[in-house]
């Protein structure tokens, strides 16, 4: 488990759904673009298909981000792979220079193969199926990405984060909290009993929350921060990770504010 960072270290640059301002979210193109544009970590969302494959897509349905319709859980992997997860982003006309294979709904295994050794992963487990959590833990453990923090797990579902703690005590895991969630001393104390950190909405961040989290040895990440002034303010507060659609913007800010040789 990776739960501490050197004082004054810059935040981890986390590309939300990949470089989602530059490429269609949660595609291999978005993840490879994030790596090229300076992300330290790629965030992605996982669901299970009808036939039990772990795929990377944000919504429970394919309607918004593909040219198909229906619940991910009601589609077989083969059916899902025939869909384009890129057309919506390019207004129906994918540029001919792009490889359609990079614009399908990816399987977690493919993403692991793409990023391993190049970039860390932040895997958000959507839904509450125990077999999804177990499958994600197995895949990351087999890739040797769990005990060394190369992959971090997170979920809004407390039961899911607790399940990760039990299945993989060696893992780094974050409790996601929604916008408006009250993160007082008791909540922070509770999270510290089963997680390594908190990933909260950026509006929840206060100097007090940063202090309490770090005193309890918790990492503190915030989402989703695209404004440069807000990125700077959160960096000054000492956040451990900032999750952004604009990873190139955050990477440039980190580069410009980090002393040479640090
Ligand atoms: O990583 C934080 C963020 O991904 C949580 O919200 O809806 O984008 O999955 P959402
Ligand atoms: Ca997410």
Cα of 204 from ligand 1 centre, angstroms: 14
Nearest CA to ligand 1 atom 5: 223
Residue 5: pLDDT over 70: no
Question: Tokens standing for 211?
Answer: 């202090």
pLDDT at 258: 77
Cα of 223 from ligand 2 centre, angstroms: 9
The binding-site residues of ligand 1, defined as CB within 6 angstroms of any ligand atom, are 16, 43, 45, 58, 124, 176, 199, 223, 243
98 DSSP 8-state letter = S
248 three-state secondary structure: helix
- Nearest-atom number in ligand 1 for the CA of 45 is 9
The model's pLDDT over 166-183, given as tens digits with 9 standing for 90+, comes to: 999 999 999 999 999 999
How high does pLDDT run on average in the chain? 95
Kindly tell me the burial class for residue 247, based on how many C-beta atoms sit within 10 Å of its own C-beta (0-12, 13-18, 19 or more).
buried
12-257 belongs to which CATH class?
A: alpha beta
Mean pLDDT across 227-239: 97
pLDDT at 261: 59
Rg (CA), the chain: 18
Annotate 21-40 with three-state secondary structure. CCCCCCCHHHHHHHHHCCCC
Cα of 160 from ligand 2 centre, angstroms: 14
Q: Taking a C-beta distance cutoff of 8 angstroms, is the pair 240, 220 a contact?
A: yes
The model's pLDDT over 29-44, given as tens digits with 9 standing for 90+, comes to: 999 999 999 999 999 9
- Nearest-atom number in ligand 1 for the CA of 154 is 1
Q: Domain map of the chain by residue range?
A: 12-257
Q: CA separation (Å) from 90 to 30, 35, 198?
A: 13, 21, 34
Cα of 58 from ligand 2 centre, angstroms: 7
Helices vs. strands in the chain: H and E counts, helices first: 9, 9
Q: Of the candidates 100, 102, 107, 88, which has an alpha carbon nearest to the alpha carbon of residue 49?
A: 107
**Which of the four pLDDT bands, split at 50, 70 and 90, describes residue 135?**
very high
User: In testing the pocket of ligand 1, which one of 41, 56, 124, 175 has its CB within 8 Å of the most ligand atoms?
Assistant: 124
The model's pLDDT over 74-122, given as tens digits with 9 standing for 90+, comes to: 999 999 999 999 999 999 899 999 999 999 999 999 999 999 999 999 9
Cα of 143 from ligand 1 centre, angstroms: 24
Q: pLDDT exceeding 70 applies to what percent of the chain? A: 95
pLDDT at 231: 98
Return the axis-axis angle of helices 247-257 and 228-237, rounded to nearest 10°: 50
pLDDT at 119: 97
Pair type for strands 41-48 and 54-56 = antiparallel
Nearest CA to ligand 1 atom 3: 223
Which ligand is nearest the CA of 177, by number? 1
Helical spans, DSSP H, in the chain: 28-36, 77-81, 108-115, 130-142, 158-167, 185-192, 207-215, 228-237, 247-257
Round to whole Å and give the CA distance between 54 and 121: 15
Nearest CA to ligand 1 atom 2: 223
Cα of 261 from ligand 2 centre, angstroms: 33
């Amino acid at each position: 488990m990776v739960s501490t960072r050197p004082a004054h270290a810059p935040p981890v640059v986390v590309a939300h759904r990949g470089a989602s301002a530059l490429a269609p979210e949660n595609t291999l193109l978005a993840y490879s673009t994030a790596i090229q544009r300076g992300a330290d970590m790629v965030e992605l969302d996982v669901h299970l298909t009808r036939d039990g494959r772990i795929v990377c897509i944000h919504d429970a349905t394919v309607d918004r981000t593909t040219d198909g319709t229906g619940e991910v859980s009601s589609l077989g992997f083969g059916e899902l792979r025939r869909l384009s997860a890129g057309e919506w982003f390019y207004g129906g006309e994918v540029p001919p220079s792009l490889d359609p294979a990079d614009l399908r709904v990816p399987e977690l295994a493919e993403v692991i193969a793409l990023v391993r050794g190049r970039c860390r992963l932040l895997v958000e487990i959507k839904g509450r199926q125990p077999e999804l959590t177990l499958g994600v833990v197995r895949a990351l453990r087999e890739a040797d990405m769990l005990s060394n923090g190369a992959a971090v797990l997170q979920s809004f579902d407390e039961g899911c984060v607790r399940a990760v703690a039990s299945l993989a005590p060696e893992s780094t895991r974050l409790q996601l909290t929604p916008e408006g969630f009250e993160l007082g001393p008791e909540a922070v104390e509770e999270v510290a009993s089963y997680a390594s950190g908190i990933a909260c909405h950026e509006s929840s961040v206060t100097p007090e929350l940063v202090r309490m989290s770090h005193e309890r040895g918790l990492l503190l990440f915030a989402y989703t921060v695209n404004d440069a002034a807000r990125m700077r303010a959160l960096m000054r507060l000492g956040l451990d990770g900032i999750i952004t659609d604009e990873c190139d913007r955050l990477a440039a800010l980190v580069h410009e504010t980090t002393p040479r040789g640090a």
